[in-house]
A and B are shown apart, each in its own frame.
Chain A
Amino acid sequence: MAKLLEVEGLTKSFFGVTVLHEVTFSLDRGEALGLVGENGSGKSTSMNILGGVHQPSAGIMRLEGTDYAPANPRAAMEAGIAFIHQELNLFPNLTIEENLFIDAFPRRSILPLIDRAQIRRRSEELLAQVDLAHKPSTSVSRLSQGERQLVEIAKALSRNARLIIFDEPTTSLTRPEVERLFAIIDRLKARGIGIIYISHALEDVMTVCDHVTVLRDGHVAGGGRTSELDLQKIISMMVGRSIDAIYPERTVKPRPDVVLEVTGLSQPGVAENITFKIHAGEVVGLAGLMGAGRSELARMLFGLDPFLHGTITIDGKELVKPTPQKAMEAGIAFLTEDRRGEGLVMDFSISDNMVLASLEDMAGALGLLDTGRIAKAAREMGASMHLSTTQVDETLVKHLSGGNQQKVVIGKWLRRAPKLFILDEPTRGIDVGAKQEVYRIINRLVEDGSAVLLISSEIEELIGLSDRILTITRGELTGEFARRDFDREAIMTAATGLAGSREAAE
């Protein structure tokens, strides 16, 4: 009997960079396969290929023995593959039954009217299969995240899905909803439907899945039956041997004065009781998996998102109801993780981007902007960061490489000589040379007495640069590590939020 899904030697390159190397895994009917790995390990790319969003550069896929090569998402859907994304694809302004049949409404004989009785009946059947107690005529806007997810599963069932892929299904669910989801998954398995379960919640993966495949840097790093593995083994496979990068020597130690003090920061749905300090001359790394709340915390510190409880203090002064302007005045700088969407104005020149946050210094005669001064400032900052060009007025940032773009954004903030620099994924998507430059800049910053909050998905990077590392899971701080206790597996364990992983600092 052929396996439900066979994936052999799946390889994918984008623009000459290989992101998947010979990935192989398989799944039987009625089984659940867990797919785990750090951010950027290749999980999304593999699933996108399976779902018809991308075409593989090499490799074969087979569904129940027949070759499977979907040209687009619709083909994947028709082949019986259903994808339940983290961002649910439902229409909150329609009812459950309307969502279920939105692209395939049955009609009443020859009239173009919806056969309400039929969709009512079929919806009730489908909802019963996923244990959702609501009437099909309920508006989706009234459902909780967990309930909406069940509607998506019902939709997959209505399309006779043979394989259902879950991408981070439990992030917004309450514990009872998670238990209900597991019960449904068991039912699906009993019907012979295959499940691929992608999640950072390793304990859940161990509970639900029969097999697990661990990806790392686009390779299969290991796997096996969950009954034969334990969490520690899985984490070691995720984390693996490190590729030694060069991190600049740090000569100064953190000073005793506290630059940032956060106490009891909470916001429903986003953060819970976050408390920590950063000292002058210190780099504090924030480790966590995608969706753990790192950027959310950064945004709250910078005044972009509100918070309900807690205090933020810079240099002893409390930041009340922060806004970006107030945060900047207090001396905070924020490098966001989305440099194209939030860090740069792509149609502006290098100079214009560099000075965007420090225009008050650029005034010349009559209060008008001194373009000469702007160009000079941009050139000097660019030179100190080894920017690839000195044509700061003529070059638009959209024509720069990722690494150079990042330097421009960093330069924009360095111009303000910040007391606290929050860096969210500063080396994502940039070349090695630019990465080294960023590391050097961070070093220089702390040597001058600034404080740095470094958010990164690469644990090696955090280990190489930080004085302390905090771990965060689902909006709560779950661990703190002093430099002497840095250990990749321990940090990853804490980052996955597993119980009993708090480490004392100092």
Chain B
Amino acid sequence: MAMAPPTESVGTSRERSAALRLGRLLLSEYFVLVLCVVYVAAIYPFVPEIVSREVAGNILSDMMPLLVVAIGQTFVLIIAGIDLSVTAIISMSAVVGASVMTGTNGYLGNSAFAVPGAIIAMLAVGFMVGAINGLGVVKLNMPSFIVTLATRMFFAGAAIWYVTFHSTSSSIANLPQGFSVFATGSIAGIPYTVIVAGLIGVGAHLLLSRTRFGRWVYAVGANPNAARISGIPVGRTIILTFLISGLCASVASTMYVSRMQTGSPITGENILLDVIGAVVIGGTSLFGGKGKIIWTVFGVLFLLLIDTSMKLLGASLFAIYMIKGSVILAAAVVDTLRHRLLVKR
């Protein structure tokens, strides 16, 4: 059956090209970056300090852990899932890692292996929770949002409980001096956290765009049936994305712990909204099959710009909470509209 294009009535060509251009802008790679620039320009008269070195530096250092988590979340979103347990992974990793390296009865405390051992333990936590999430989705046919909500509840509670075995206070302190270097130190003027986040970002980008696994991730997200028939191991791919998300959350946890110099069970508690918001604003679709690391980078930047500008404007914490909630909703609505637009094209 030949597909001849249906004849259409010709509207004014100027109208149509304007609509086309808007449509193309909405769907373009750099939409969010443009949004960032526009936002800074719009907000500048009210808070000129936003372009100051100090503020920019703060945005950068706040951005790194959030970016790492968001990078992991991007993988999960591309396969049309979601990982709501990342905050709990951060908390659990934090307390486990602290319990290993703390000078006060730490498992490897005061030894040369304290810090490396702690880091390995933290990554192991991320791996384990990621595995539980992935297996729940693939083997037990559980929707990803519920599995990750359940693991979130479990490990957030577990983190608090864990601390009671290792400290008389509500967190585990007395961490090795060496570890704080991670958050504060830099090499050639570039903070370590930026280097680590940068490496992870580049690695994730290469993984998604230049490896076999990356193609699998996009295929599974866009069309799991076609993926299966093409011989792609769908289940394994899904589990791996959750593992990646878990590990990224652990890495972010190391950054937080290093900065705060204590293992607290409420580490990273409030960043869930920021993570999901950033990834979706960046352009990765909740429907799966689409997403890029660079988009996530822009999304995180945008979110932090809003966050910082609100704080500079003196908005209350609650107003920020509400605005971010609305932004997430707006991003989801835009995502839905984009999805419908693309399906029609």
Contact = CB atoms under 8 A, between A and B. Distances in A.
A352 B218 CA distance: 10
A341 B212 contact: no
A162 interface: no
B222 interface: yes
Interface stretch (A13-21, A120-128, A221-229): A13-21
A453 to B, nearest CB: 16
A463 interface: no
Interface string A309-339: 0000000000000001100100000101000
Contacts of A148: none
Interface string B191-227: 0000000000000001000111011001100110111
Interface residues of B, number: 28
Contacts of A347: 222, 289-290, 342
A360 interface: yes
A402 interface: yes
Interface stretch (B100-108, B228-236, B315-323): B228-236
B4 interface: yes
A367 B211 contact: yes
A362 B209 CA distance: 13
A325 B233 contact: yes
Nearest to B7: A16
B223 to A, nearest CB: 5
A412 B214 CA distance: 18
A304 interface: yes
B230 A412 contact: yes
A361 B229 CA distance: 18
Contacts of A302: 229
Given A324-B229, A352-B215, A369-B211, A346 B2 contact: no
Given A342-B225, A345-B226, A431 B232 contact: no
Contacts of A111: none
Q: By CB atoms of chain A within 10 A, which of B6, B211, B228, B229 has the most?
A: B229
Interface string A417-458: 000000000000101000000000000000000000000000
Contacts of B4: 15-16
Contacts of B230: 324, 356-357, 412
Interface string A345-388: 11110001000110110110001110100000000000000000
A15 B229 contact: no
A15 B3 contact: yes
Is chain A's interface secondary structure helix, strand, loop, or mixed overall? Answer: mixed
A118 interface: no
Interface residues of A, number: 37
B229 A304 contact: yes
Nearest to A326: B231
B215 A359 contact: yes
B112 interface: no
Interface centre among A302, A356, A362, A401 (most CB of B within 10 A): A356
B206 to A, nearest CB: 6
Nearest to B234: A324
A441 B10 CA distance: 42
B316 to A, nearest CB: 42
Nearest to B210: A368
B1 interface: yes
Contacts of A431: 2
Contacts of A80: none
A334 B230 CA distance: 9
| Interface-centre pick from B212, B231, B289, B290 (highest chain A CB count, 10 A) | B231
A349 B227 CA distance: 15
B228 A369 contact: no
Interface in A6-27: 14-17, 19
A15 B1 contact: yes
22 contacts: A14-B1, A15-B2, A17-B1, A324-B229, A324-B231, A341-B223, A341-B226, A342-B225, A342-B226, A342-B229, A344-B223, A345-B218, A345-B227, A346-B222, A348-B218, A348-B219, A356-B215, A360-B212, A368-B210, A369-B214, A401-B3, A402-B3
Interface of B: 1-4, 6, 206, 210-212, 214-215, 218-219, 222-223, 225-233, 289-290, 342, 345
Q: Which 5 A-B pairs have the closest CB atoms?
A: A359-B212, A368-B210, A16-B4, A357-B230, A328-B231
Given A304-B229, A371-B210, 14 more contacts: A15-B3, A15-B4, A17-B1, A325-B231, A341-B225, A341-B226, A342-B226, A342-B229, A356-B215, A356-B219, A356-B226, A367-B211, A368-B211, A398-B345
